[in-house]
Structure 1
Amino acid sequence: MHKNTKSGVEATVPAQLGALPSWYGDLLGEVKETVAGARLRAQRAVNTELVQMYWRIGKLILARQKQEGWGTKVVGRLAADLKAAFPNQRGFSRSNLMYMQKMARTWPEPIVQQPVGQLPWGHITLLMDKLETRSDLDFYVTEAVRNGWSRALLDRFIHQALHVTQGSAATNFDVTVPDESAVLKELARDPYRLDFLGLDEHHAEHELEEAIVANMVRFLTELGVGFAFVGRQYPVLIGGEEYRIDLLFYHLKLHRYFVFELKTKDVRPEHVGKLNFYVSVVDQMVRDKERDDSTIGFLIGTRHNKAAVQLALDASNNPLAVTNYSAYSTLSPADRELVPSEEDLSRVVQEAIDAVGHTDAPSSPEQLR
C-alpha cells in the first residue's frame, strides 16, 4: 500500500496500481465534495417532501373536522391506526398530528409555495409553540430561511424578540444611503442583547470591549450573518498622531466596513461626532474605493436621548446608527455559574421532547445542528 497526500487528501491505494498521478488527490477531493453535496441536497429534498406530507395530512384533518364536526379524540385514534399501518415510520403521534393540523390552519395556502416549506419540521413546531400571530411567524420564517438558522439560534432570537428590536435603532440611513436604507436598518437592533458577556452593572468600556473580543463568536451571531472581525483598537495614523477605533468589522455580503464605538455611559451628541470622524477615517484610509461601499458607523451605549441623538445623526454626512445594549446580569458571578446557558436549556428541552415523542419526525441535518 502507499499513500498520496496531494491537497491534504490522504488516499490509500493498492501497491499493485503503481504510482498515482500528481492530480489524483485533487480528483478524489472533488468527487467526495460532489457526493457530500448530493447527499445534503437529497436530505433537504426529503425534508421538504416530509413537511408537504404533514401539511396535506393537516388539511385532511381540518376538512373532515369542519365537515363532520368531531373533536380531538378522533385524532388520537387516527394516530394509533397510522402507527399500526406504518410501523416503521415515525411522525404519527397524536401530538404531531395536532401540529400538522395547526400548520395547515396557520398556513392555509400550499406549503410548497411558502418559505415555511423550506424549514425543518423541528423549526416549524418551535415556531408554532412560541408565536401566535401570522405576521410574527412569517418574520422568523423568512429570517431563518435567509440566514440558515439552527433551531437553537431560532429559539434564541424569538426569546430576544428580534421582530421588535430589529431595525429599531436611530439612524440617518434614509438620507445618507437611501438605496440600501432598508437592508442596513435590519442590522441595527435596539437593544443588542449581550447578557452572555457575563458583566456586572458597573463594568468599564475596556471590560466591555475585552468581553466582546473574548466572546467574538457569540457577538458575531448577535450582529447577524455576514460580519467578519477585523480588529480591536484598530490603529490609524493621521498627521503623525495615532487614533484607535474600538472595533472594526467588515461585512462580506455588503462589502462595507463597519466602525463600532462602545460607550458604557449615556450616549451624547458629541459621541456621534466622534463616530462620524472615525467613519471618515476608515473611508479615506482603509476602504478600497474600487471594491467597498461607504463605511457604516455604529455607536452602542447604555441609553441615549433620542431627540438629541437624532439631531446629531441628521447633521452627520456619513451613514451612522445609535443603539443600546444590555450586557449584565443581576446574578452574582457565583450564581451565574449555577445557571444553565440557553444552549443547555435547549438541549435538555429537546431531549425531553424526544423522550416522550413530542415531535417524532425523522431528523435532518438542519435539525441536528
Structure 2
Amino acid sequence: MNDMQTQNDYNSFLAEIKQQIKSSQIRAINSVNKEMILLYFRIGKSINQKQKELGWGAKVIDNLSHDIKSAFPELGGFSVRNIKRMLRFYKEYTQPFEKVPQAVAQMEDEIMPPIVSQIPWSHNVILIEKIKDADLRYWYMQKTLEHGWSRDVLALMIQSQLHKREGKLVSNFKNILAPQDSDLVQQSFKDPYLFDFLTIAEPFLERELESNLIKHMEKFLIELGSGFAFVGRQYKLEVGEDDFYIDLLFYHLKLRCYVVVELKKGKFKPEYSGQVNFYCSAIDGILAHKEDKPTIGLILCQEKNEIVAEYSLRNMSQPIGISEYELTEILPKEFESSLPTIQMIENELKHSLNTMEKEDD
C-alpha cells in the first residue's frame, strides 16, 4: 500500500471519528437540555401543588429564589422571574396540544408533548410569552427543530408572522415538479418577503434595491429562509453569442438546486415569467450538474395581481414562483414638514435651560 493510499485511508478514518464525536456532543447537549426542561417542569408543578394545598402566595417564589441561590451559588437560572416562568411553563403544558402526535411524554400524572423538551429553555420562554395559541406554538417548535433557529431568529420569525407567509406564493410547482418535491419547494418560499431591514426611499431603482440587499446579506438570507447559499450578483450567462445577467443567483442546499431571483420594482408584468423561465432553462443547461434538481425561479415584485400571475405561469416549462416584497415604511411627504428641525430642537433646548436657571435663582 502506497503512502498516498495510507493517507487517504487515515483521512477517511479521521473524518469518521470526528463525525462520531460531533454526534456524541449533540446527543449530550440534547440530553442536558431535556433534563433541565423536565426539572423546570417539575419545579413548576411542585410550586403549583403547594400553592393549592397550603394556600401559599407568590412570596414563596421570592423565598425559593433566595434560598436556592444560597445553596447553589454556582447554579444559574433561579431568579424570581425565571421561577415564575417555571410555574407558568407547567400550567401551559399540563394539557397536550390538539394537533400534536398522540405519543407524549408521561411525567408522573401530568402530560407534556415530547417536542417541548427538545427546544432550549430560552426558546420555550419566547414561545410561551409571544404565542397564546398552543397549536401555533407547536408549529413554531417544529420549524425551530427543522431549521435550527437561534433564539433571536425564532423571535424574528414570530414577529414577522411567518406562519401566515410560508408557502403562500403563486407558483406552478405542482404542475412542473414531481409530487414528492412540489410541496417541499412550495413551503420553502414565502409571500410576502419582508425587507424591513432596508431603508430605501421612493423613488428607487431596482439596482439600488439589489445593492442594499447585498449589503445586508445576512439579514436577507435569514428572511429567505434556511438552505439558501449565495452564488452571485448580476451573474453572467453566455448563451450563444449573447450575454445575460441574473439579478441574484443562489443554491438551495436542501432542495439541491439553483434558485434564480429577479427583483422587480412596481407591479408584476407577465413578461417577467418568460424572462425567468429562460434564465432557469439556461442555468440547467450550462451550470447545473446532473445530480441537481431543476432550477427554480423566484420573481420578487412590489405588487401583483394573483390572476395575472397565475396565467403568466400556465405555459412555463420551468418551476417559477411569484412573491411580493415589502420595505420599511417611509414617512409620508405630508408629515415630513411637521417634524422639528435640528435648529428648532437646539432653540427649544436653550429655552429649557434658561428656564431651569431662572427657577434655580
Q: TM-score, normalised by structure 1?
A: 0.74
Matched to 2:283, the amino acid is: V
Please point out which of 48, 63, 67 is paired with 2:34.
48
Greater shift, 101-110 or 166-175, is seen at 101-110
The corresponding residue for 1:343 is none
Q: CA deviation at 1:98?
A: 2.3
The corresponding residue for 2:182 is 181
What is the alpha-carbon distance in structure 2 between the residues aligned to residue 211 and residue 181 of structure 1? 31
Distance 1:71 1:44, change over 3 A: same
What is the alpha-carbon distance in structure 2 between the residues aligned to residue 61 and residue 329 of structure 1? 46
What is the alpha-carbon distance in structure 2 between the residues aligned to residue 186 and residue 223 of structure 1? 12
Matched to 1:222, the amino acid is: E
Matched to 2:234, the amino acid is: Q
* Number of matched pairs: 310
Q: CA deviation at 1:127?
A: 1.6
The corresponding residue for 2:156 is 156
Q: Which runs of 5+ in 1 are unaligned?
A: 1-23, 336-369
SS of the residue 1:175 aligns to: helix
What is the alpha-carbon distance in structure 2 between the residues aligned to residue 319 and residue 175 of structure 1? 8
In the TM superposition, what are the counterparts of 1:220-369 in structure 2 within 5 Å? 220-288=221-289, 290-330=290-330
Whether the 8 Å contact between 1:169 and 1:189 is mirrored in structure 2 is yes
Q: CA deviation at 1:260?
A: 0.7
Please point out which of 101, 110, 125 is paired with 2:87.
101
Post-superposition CA distance 1:131-181 (Å, at most 9, x none): 111122112211112212111111111111111111111112222223222
SS of the residue 2:232 aligns to: strand
Q: CA deviation at 1:204?
A: 0.6
The corresponding residue for 1:60 is 46
Distance 1:134 1:201, change over 3 A: farther
What is the alpha-carbon distance in structure 1 between the residues aligned to residue 239 and residue 17 of structure 2? 52
Q: CA deviation at 1:273?
A: 2.1
What is the alpha-carbon distance in structure 2 between the residues aligned to residue 135 and residue 231 of structure 1? 39
Post-superposition CA distance 1:222-269 (Å, at most 9, x none): 111111112222222223122221111111222111111110111112
Q: CA deviation at 1:26?
A: 12
Whether the 8 Å contact between 2:200 and 2:328 is mirrored in structure 1 is yes
What is the alpha-carbon distance in structure 2 between the residues aligned to residue 201 and residue 136 of structure 1? 36
Give RMSD over aligned pairs.
3.1
What is the alpha-carbon distance in structure 2 between the residues aligned to residue 186 and residue 91 of structure 1? 37
Q: CA deviation at 1:93?
A: 3.0
SS of the residue 2:304 aligns to: coil
Whether the 8 Å contact between 1:301 and 1:323 is mirrored in structure 2 is yes
Whether the 8 Å contact between 2:248 and 2:260 is mirrored in structure 1 is yes
SS of the residue 2:149 aligns to: coil
Q: Which has the larger radius of gyration?
A: 2
Greater shift, 75-84 or 166-175, is seen at 75-84
SS of the residue 2:229 aligns to: strand
What is the alpha-carbon distance in structure 2 between the residues aligned to residue 28 and residue 271 of structure 1? 50
What is the alpha-carbon distance in structure 2 between the residues aligned to residue 230 and residue 279 of structure 1? 14
Q: CA deviation at 1:295?
A: 1.1
What is the alpha-carbon distance in structure 1 between the residues aligned to residue 192 and residue 156 of structure 2? 15
What is the alpha-carbon distance in structure 2 between the residues aligned to residue 34 and residue 279 of structure 1? 39
Greater shift, 315-324 or 297-306, is seen at 315-324
Aligned identity (percent) is 37
Greater relative contact order structure (CA < 8 Å, 6+ sep): 1
What is the alpha-carbon distance in structure 2 between the residues aligned to residue 255 and residue 324 of structure 1? 24
Q: CA deviation at 1:29?
A: 11
Distance 1:32 1:258, change over 3 A: closer
Q: CA deviation at 1:69?
A: 6.6
Q: CA deviation at 1:102?
A: 2.2
SS of the residue 1:297 aligns to: strand
Q: CA deviation at 1:75?
A: 3.9
The corresponding residue for 2:339 is none
What is the alpha-carbon distance in structure 1 between the residues aligned to residue 231 and residue 238 of structure 2? 17
Whether the 8 Å contact between 1:167 and 1:186 is mirrored in structure 2 is yes
Whether the 8 Å contact between 1:195 and 1:326 is mirrored in structure 2 is yes
Q: CA deviation at 1:114?
A: 2.4
Distance 1:212 1:72, change over 3 A: same
SS of the residue 1:197 aligns to: coil
Q: CA deviation at 1:322?
A: 0.5
Distance 1:25 1:314, change over 3 A: closer
What is the alpha-carbon distance in structure 1 between the residues aligned to residue 55 and residue 170 of structure 2? 52
Please point out which of 52, 67, 92 is paired with 2:78.
92
Distance 1:322 1:79, change over 3 A: same
Q: CA deviation at 1:64?
A: 4.8
The corresponding residue for 1:342 is none
